């Protein structure tokens, strides 16, 4: 258990891009997916949780391949990341765009990303 806690602490020192790459490597190595399927009932429960929480992680779940450039532009605008970092986040979806965002800001970010064809979750 102590080794797992140490491992988590080490992961906390990584950048978002590095964590995204780690997740992708683990998915490929073990044949699993970090994205959980969402049933309709679970979506309703998630909506109820969204209203109760005061801060969210904005997660880019999927990107419309025909609107990838527009999505990168919005990610750069929302995060102030450089072009290569924003592109890496979009290329490696699902990826966390921003953490611990206040409710209204998170909803605004979600709306902007969905306008350009991205699929976004608030966790």
pLDDT given for residue 2 in this prediction:
74
The predicted model gives 106-118 an average pLDDT of 92
d(CA 121, CA 82): 23
81 exposure class (CB count in 10 Å sphere: 0-12, 13-18, 19+)? buried
Q: Where are the domains of the chain?
A: 2-122
Q: pTM value?
A: 0.56
> % helix / strand / coil in the chain, to the nearest 5?
60, 15, 20
Give every CB contact of residue 7 below 8 A, 6+ residues apart in sequence: none
Q: How far apart are the first and last CA of the chain?
A: 26
Average pLDDT, the chain: 83
Residue 49 confidence class, pLDDT cut points 50, 70, 90: low
96-101 mean pLDDT: 92
User: pLDDT confidence of 74, banded at 50, 70, 90?
Assistant: very high
| 2-122 belongs to CATH 3.40.1360.10 | no
The distance between the two most distant Cα atoms of the chain, rounded to a whole number of Å, is: 45
């Amino acid at each position: 258990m102590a080794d797992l806690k140490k491992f988590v602490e080490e992961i906390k020192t990584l950048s978002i891009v590095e964590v995204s790459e780690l997740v992708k490597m683990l998915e490929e190595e073990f044949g699993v997916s970090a994205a959980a399927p969402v049933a309709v009932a679970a979506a309703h429960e998630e909506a109820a949780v969204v209203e109760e929480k005061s801060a969210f992680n904005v997660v880019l779940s999927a990107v419309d391949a025909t609107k990838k450039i527009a999505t990168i532009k919005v990610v750069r605008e929302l995060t102030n990341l450089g072009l290569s970092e924003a592109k890496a986040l979009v290329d490696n979806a699902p990826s966390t765009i921003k953490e611990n965002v206040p409710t209204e800001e998170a909803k605004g970010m979600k709306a902007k990303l969905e306008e350009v064809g991205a699929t976004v979750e608030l966790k």
